Structure 1
Amino acid sequence: MPESPEVQALADELAARLVGRAIAAVDVLEFRVTKTRARPLTSLVGERVTGVARHGKLVAVAFDGSEHLVVSLGRHGWARWRAQGEAEAAQSPQPEPGASPDQGQPEPPPPALVVIEFDEGPAFELTDAGGWVSLGGWVVDEPVEVPAIAGLGPDPADPGFTRADFDRAFAGRRKQVKAILQEQESLAGIGNAYSDEILHAARVSPVAHAATLGAEDHDRLFAATVDVVRSAIAERRGIPIDRQKQVKVASMRAHGRAGEACPRCGDAIRDFTFASTTAQYCPTCQTGGEVLPLKGA
C-alpha cells in the first residue's frame, strides 16, 4: 500500500512533469474507479494542470478551471508513464524462449484502469494490482469534498505537526498503538509498513494499548513517528515513481523482514497477524520476548 512518503514522491513527480500541460483525452477502463458519476473523469479533457498536492495517502491534481482530480490509490493502486504510441501490451514482459513460467520471470505489470493523455509528453496511467478495485477517482471543486480527505487527522510530515497533535491521537485510548498509527482520522498518511517501522524504532509493542504506555514510551513513539515519516519522504524525493516500491522495500528495517536478524539486537524479526494482514516486530526490542500470535500457526 502506498503511504505518505511514496505518495509525496508521486505528487512531486506529477507536479514537475504535468504543470502547464492540458489533458487531451481520458480513457476510463474500469468504471468502478469513478466515484463522482455526475462529474466523470472525462469531464477534465481540455483542462490544464496548475498544481499537485498530497493529502494523507491521496493525491489532488488542480486545474485551471478550478476543478480537482483527487486520486485514492487504495491498497494496490499506483501510477506509471506511457510514451505516446506505446501500447499497453508492450509493457508486459514476455518469457524467454524455452523458459518455464516459474524460472524467475518477472511478474507482468498491473493493468491500467485509467489512461490520461496530455497535449504533449507521455500519457499517465493509474493502475491497480489487486483482486478487487481499490483505486478511486473524484472530480470535485475542492479536495475537502472527498470524505477521505475531510476526515484526515494531522500529518506527521507537516512542519506544523506538534506534540499536542500526537497526544490527542493517543492519550487515554484503549486501542492498540499500531491501529492508531494507521487510523487516518488520527494521523494522516501512515499504513502497515511505516507503522511497523515506527514501532520498531520506538521499541513499543504493536499490540499495547495507548492508555498503558508510560511517558517515556510516548516520548519515543512521538519522536519515531516524526523521524520515520519525514526521513522516508526525504529519502524518496527524486526517485522515479517506477522505482518507489523497490526502494521502499529495501529501506525497511522490520517490515517485511520476518526471519531476518533485527538490526538493533540480532533477534529474529517475526510475523504476527494484525487485522486482515500480516505485520512484523522484534520480540526482544518490542514485546519483552513475548511471541505474538500468527493466524493459522
Structure 2
Amino acid sequence: MPELPEVEALAGFLDGRLSGRVVERVQPVAVSVLKTYDPPLSALEGRPVAAVRRHGKFLDIATDAGPHLVLHLARAGWVRLRDTLPAAPPRPGKGPLALRIRLSDGTGLDVTEAGTQKRLAAYCVHDPADVPGIARLGPDPLTDAFTRDSFAALLRSERRRIKGVLRDQSVIAGVGNAYSDEALHAARMSPFALAANLSEDEVTVLYEALRTTLRDAVERARGHAAEELKDEKRAGTRVHGRAGEQCPVCGDVIREVSYRDSSLQYCATCQTGGKILADRRLSRLLK
C-alpha cells in the first residue's frame, strides 16, 4: 500500500507533469471506483490542473477554480502517466484499469488496481475536507505542528498496542503497515507495547524514530518516476516484508505475526528482548 513517503513523492512527480494541462475527460472504468456524484465528473472538464497535493495517503488533483479529484490508492492501486491514449473510451472488464484521466493534449493518467479486492476510491469534491477519510485524518507527522509533546498527548489515552495506534489514520495521518514496522524497529520497541504505558523516554525515542524514518523515506523517493516508487520503497525497508531474512542491526532472523489480511515484521532481539510474539495463524499465545 502506498504510504506517506510514496504518496508525497507521487504528488510531487505528478504536480510537475500535470500542472497547467487541461482535463478533457475523467472516465471511471471499475464500477466501484467513484464514491461521489455531486459535483459530477463533468465539472472537471475544460479546467487546467492547478496542483497535485497529498493529504495523509490521499492524492489530491486540484483544478483551477474548480473541483478536486481525490484518489485513495488503497492496497493495490497505482497511477501511470501515458504519453498517448487510445481514442476509444475504456471498457469495463476484468483488467486492472479503474479510472482514466484524459488530458486535452492527448496525454493522460491511468489509475489501476491489481487483485480481486477492489478498494481504490475516487472522489470529485469542491473541498478535499468533503472526503470522509480526509475529514477524519489525524495530524501529519512531518509538519512542524507535530511535536514530541503533541505525540505524547495522542498516546496517553490509547489502551491499544502501539502498532495499531501508529496505523490509525485518525491518530496520525499517512503511516501504514510498512513504516510503522520500520519506525518501531528503529525505536527498538515491541509492536505489542501498549501506547499509554510508554515511558517519557520511550515516547521521545519513538517520536524521533518515526519522524526520521518518514523523512528518510521521502528523501529516497523524491525525484523518482511513479513506476519506480514501489521498488524504491521495498529497497529501503529493513524489516517490513523481510520475514526470514537477517536483521541488518543484530543479525537475528526477522519474524512475522500474521493477521487475517495483513502481517507485521519485527526483530525479537532488537525489539522484544528475545521474546517471540504470538502468531495467531498457529494459535500460539506466547508472551
Query: In 2, Cα distance between the equivalents of 1:271 and 1:185?
Result: 26
Aligned mate of 1:130, from 93, 101, 115 = 115
Higher mean displacement: 182-191 or 121-130: 121-130
Q: 1:50 — aligned with what? A: 50
Q: Which secondary structure does the structure 2 equivalent of 1:296 belong to?
A: helix
Identity of aligned residues (%): 43
Contact 1:28 1:41 in 2 (8 A): no
- Counterpart in 2 of 1:68? 68
Q: Does 1:170 align with 2:155?
A: yes
Q: Within 2, Cα distance between the matches of 1:220 and 1:14?
A: 34
Structure 1 residue corresponding to 2:130, chosen from 122, 128, 145: 145
Root-mean-square deviation (CA), in Å? 1.7
- In structure 2, C-alpha distance between the alignment counterparts of 1:199 and 1:212, rounded to whole Å: 15
Greater mean alpha carbon deviation, residues 251-260 or residues 166-175: 166-175
Q: Give the corresponding residue for 1:5.
A: 5
Give the Cα separation in 1 of the matches to 2:116 and 2:169: 23
In the TM superposition, what whole-angstrom CA distance separates every residue of 1:52-90 from its partner, at most 9, and x where no partner exists? 1100000111111331111111121110112214699xx
Could you list the runs of 5+ residues in structure 1 that have no partner in the other structure?
89-109
Deviation at 1:5, TM superposition (A): 0.4
Number of the residue aligned with 1:161: 146
Q: Could you say what secondary structure the match of 1:207 adopts?
A: coil
Structure 1 CA distance for aligned equivalents of residues 87 and 269 of structure 2? 51
Alignment of 1:109-120 (within 5 A): 111-120=96-105
Shift of 1:168: 2.2
1:38 Cα deviation after fit: 3.2
Question: Could you say if the C-alpha distance between residues 142 and 293 of structure 1 is closer, same or farther in structure 2, counting changes exceeding 3 Å?
Answer: same
Matched, 1:214 2:203: no
C-alpha contact 1:27 1:42 (8 A) present in aligned 2: no
Assess, with a 3 A threshold, how the Cα gap between structure 1 residues 84 and 204 changes in structure 2: closer, same or farther.
Answer: same
Counterpart-to-counterpart distance in 2, 1:65 and 1:173: 41
1:169–1:180 contact (8 Å) kept in structure 2: no
**Counterpart among 235, 240, 255 of residue 250 in structure 1:** 235
- In 2, Cα distance between the equivalents of 1:85 and 1:56? 30
Shifted more, 166-175 versus 199-208: the winner is: 166-175
Separation in structure 2 between the aligned mates of residue 174 and residue 12 of structure 1, nearest angstrom: 37
> For residue 16 of structure 2, what is the aligned residue in structure 1?
16
Please say if residues 13 and 240 of structure 1, whose CA atoms lie closer than 8 Å, have aligned partners that are also in contact.
yes
Equivalent residue letter for 1:10: L
Alpha-carbon distance in structure 2 between the residues aligned to 1:38 and 1:144: 14
Q: TM-score, normalised by structure 1?
A: 0.88
Deviations 1:147-194 (A, max 9, x none): 111111111122332112211221242100000000001100000000
Normalised to the residue count of structure 2, the TM-score between the two structures is: 0.91
Cα distance in 2 for residues equivalent to 1:79 and 1:44: 18
Q: Deviations over 1:121-151 (max 9, x none)?
A: 5310111113121111111111011111111
Contact 1:75 1:130 in 2 (8 A): no
Runs of at least 4 residues of structure 1 off by over 6 A?
A: none
Structure 2: distance between partners of 1:6 and 1:248: 7
Hey, what's the Cα distance between the residues in 2 that align with 1:79 and 1:282? 33
Give the distance between the partners of 1:113 and 1:271, measured in 2 at CA: 32
How many angstroms does 1:11 deviate by? Answer: 0.6
Cα distance in 1 for partners of 2:54, 2:260 equals 26
- Quote the Cα distance in structure 2 between the aligned partners of 1:217 and 1:275: 29
* Count of residue pairs brought into register by the alignment: 276
